[in-house]
């Protein structure tokens, strides 16, 4: 049976925080906060489905052997978070509670029901389950209880893993002003994270050595972590998620005290002239007059600047991708020629590092607005590191008598790139369709949009 309409749990989080109440049913907040609720509901208007693998087949090769090579679309509005995580090919087709490929932690940023279940089960038990085991509990889109305590407007970190991470970098939630606390609620999800194999697959932010890309890379290297082994190069790879908080932190916006909520949730007035925070978390330019005009004189000038920033980042992205993609294929050629692990170690490490820097620079949504200089810096470093990988590979290829340049196969379209890597999309899609109809809709009664 579906859970009660007012989904509530009271429990003690594993990090030692006080008992918390999680009212995960967004409808339960509607009458008390009608203006905020109505603006939150507008997130369903951000509904365009944009297939980024179709737009850039390089991504298929770069993520070869990992779930992102199967399916990667531009993020839609918060209203679609549950729908999209259920329907993406990356989460597989788990017809049983113990089926893979993803753990229950994969729900953690998609719905306030995950915060309710962490409170109800405890973080360890929640994290140890598979994605399919908790699907019947997940029905609310990202909403009120993700950021607010109980039924009050008081801000809270509803995810214990985020609370621990903030303390790791000396940003304990209780010590921050309300603006920074608002940004930290966003940072529960808009960050880089991984599922910690030493802690039942619980979500962890890799901030033990710091928050920037190089510090996180050093942390991952220190623990020998890899998300997957690349299908072509056999390099131990890392996949950046969406490190908006980390790339905002060193920006001029952060230096001036401009936070996520200032730009994406500005104060507006209702019909009676009462101010409230707009909750549709949309494009800042739609709210230029209230969100930007105190610092920026002209909307058209700002639009031109953002367009130029995006173009410059995309140009450097393409240059870095060209180098790293070629390095993957050169590594594949070296393996085919009989290279051994000792010969390949340096080159594979460079490939891993180059791709991480590239991914960190582009996985951060709207980095062209948040911190374009950081993206450009990372992409320059990614290309340089990729060239170092190629230099190491040249030594190996020369040693094994491989003709150079290594010929590249045709991966000019998403379909060609996926086929090249042996991905049977038709079979995966058929399994997903069966799962959606028979389990997600039939058993979980998931309200897909």
Q: What's the confidence (pLDDT) of residue 19?
A: 52
Would you state the structure tokens that stand for residue 40, as one six-digit string?
């939150």
Alpha-carbon distance of 244 to 189, in angstroms, equals: 9
Among 394, 385, 388, 379, which Cα is nearest to 331's?
394
CA-only gyration radius of the chain, Å? 23
**107 with 179: CB under 8 angstroms?**
no
Among 85, 51, 90, which Cα is nearest to 70's?
90
Vertex 43: Cα angle to 40 and 45 (nearest 5): 135
CATH number attached to the domain at 1-47+71-205+259-294+426-444: 1.10.1130.10
Bin 41: left if φ > 0, else alpha if -120 < ψ < 50, else beta: alpha
DSSP-derived 3-state class of residue 376: helix
> What is the β-pairing status of strands 267-269 and 202-204?
unpaired
Vertex 11: Cα angle to 8 and 17 (nearest 5): 125
Answer positive or negative: Cα dihedral of 138, 144, 147, 148. negative
Average pLDDT per block of 10 residues along the chain, 449 residues long:
37 46 93 95 88 98 98 93 97 97 97 96 96 97 93 91 98 96 97 96 97 98 98 98 96 94 92 92 87 90 95 98 98 98 98 98 94 98 98 98 98 98 97 98 95
Burial of 285 (0-12, 13-18, 19+ CB in 10 A): middle
**91 with 102: CB under 8 angstroms?**
yes
Q: What's the confidence (pLDDT) of residue 106?
A: 97
Domain ranges, ordered by start, for the chain: 1-47+71-205+259-294+426-444
Q: What's the confidence (pLDDT) of residue 43?
A: 87
- Predicted TM-score (pTM) of this structure: 0.94
Question: With the CA atoms of 200, 202, 207 and 213 taken in that order, what torsion angle do they form, in degrees rounded to the nearest 10?
Answer: 100
């Amino acid at each position: 049976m579906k859970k009660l309409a007012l989904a509530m749990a009271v429990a003690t989080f594993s990090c030692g925080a006080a008992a918390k109440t999680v009212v995960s049913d967004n409808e339960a907040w509607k009458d008390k906060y009608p203006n905020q609720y109505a603006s939150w509901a507008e997130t369903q208007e951000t509904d365009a489905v944009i297939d980024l693998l179709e737009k850039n087949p390089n991504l298929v090769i770069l993520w070869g052997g990992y779930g992102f090579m199967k399916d990667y679309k531009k993020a839609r509005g918060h209203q679609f978070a549950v729908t999209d995580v259920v329907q993406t090919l990356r989460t597989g087709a788990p017809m049983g509670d113990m089926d893979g490929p993803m753990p229950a932690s994969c729900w953690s940023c998609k719905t306030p029901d995950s915060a309710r279940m962490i409170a109800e089960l405890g973080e360890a038990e929640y994290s140890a389950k598979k994605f399919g085991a908790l699907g019947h509990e997940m029905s609310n889109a990202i909403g009120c209880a993700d950021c607010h305590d109980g039924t009050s407007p008081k801000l809270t970190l509803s995810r214990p893993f985020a609370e621990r991470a903030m303390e790791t970098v000396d940003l304990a939630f209780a010590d921050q002003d309300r603006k920074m606390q608002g940004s930290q609620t966003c940072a529960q999800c808009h960050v880089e994270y991984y599922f910690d194999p030493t802690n039942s697959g619980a979500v962890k932010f890799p901030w033990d050595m710091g928050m920037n890309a190089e510090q996180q890379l050093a942390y991952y290297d220190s623990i020998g972590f890899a998300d997957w082994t690349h299908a072509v190069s056999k390099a131990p790879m890392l996949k950046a998620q969406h490190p908006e908080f980390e790339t905002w932190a060193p920006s001029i916006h952060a230096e001036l005290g401009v936070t996520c909520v200032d730009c994406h949730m500005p104060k507006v007035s209702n019909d009676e002239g009462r101010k409230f925070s707009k909750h549709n978390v949309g494009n800042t330019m739609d709210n230029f007059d209230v969100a930007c005009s105190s610092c920026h004189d002209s909307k058209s000038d700002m639009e031109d600047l953002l367009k130029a920033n995006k173009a410059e980042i995309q140009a450097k992205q393409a240059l870095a991708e060209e180098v790293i993609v070629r390095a993957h294929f050169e590594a594949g050629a070296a393996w085919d020629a009989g290279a051994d692990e000792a010969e390949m170690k340096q080159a594979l490490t460079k490939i891993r590092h180059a791709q991480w820097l590239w991914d960190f620079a582009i996985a951060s949504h709207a980095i062209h607005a948040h911190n374009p200089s950081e993206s450009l810096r990372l992409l320059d470093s990614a290309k340089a590191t990729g060239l170092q990988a190629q230099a190491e590979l040249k030594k190996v290829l020369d040693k094994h008598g491989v003709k150079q340049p290594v010929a590249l196969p045709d991966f000019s379209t998403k379909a060609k790139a996926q086929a090249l890597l042996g991905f049977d999309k038709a079979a995966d899609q058929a399994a997903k369709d069966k799962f959606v109809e028979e389990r997600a809709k039939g058993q979980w009664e998931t309200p897909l949009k």
